[in-house]
Amino acid sequence: MTTLVIKPKSKEEEDLLTLLLKKMNIEVQLFEEPLPNYETREAMEDVHQRKGTRVKDSNELFNKLGI
């Protein structure tokens, strides 16, 4: 299973990402926690260990996903 960890810069970006990912049949779960939960910490660690892919913004994410 692939986990995407996204921190939108605005409410508009959050809405756009949610809509696009749902249209691609990708499950979307939004978390608003002061500290990252276990799954988020694991995904961050994967990126740190170069097991995952880090993107700077939504445009780079869409390019990686082939949108």
Cα distance between residue 29 and residue 27, in whole Å: 7
Written as one letter, the residue type at 50 is R
The Cα–Cα gap between 43 and 4 comes to 8
- Give the pLDDT score at 29: 75
Extents of the domains making up the chain: 11-65
pTM of the complete model: 0.45
Instruction: Tell me the per-residue pLDDT of 9-47, one tens digit each, with 9 for 90 and over.
Output: 788 888 888 888 888 888 777 767 677 778 777 877 877
Could you give the maximum distance between any two Cα atoms of the chain, in Å?
32
The rounded distance, in Å, linking the Cα atoms of 26 and 47 is 20
Q: Phi, psi at residue 19, to the nearest 5°?
A: -60, -50
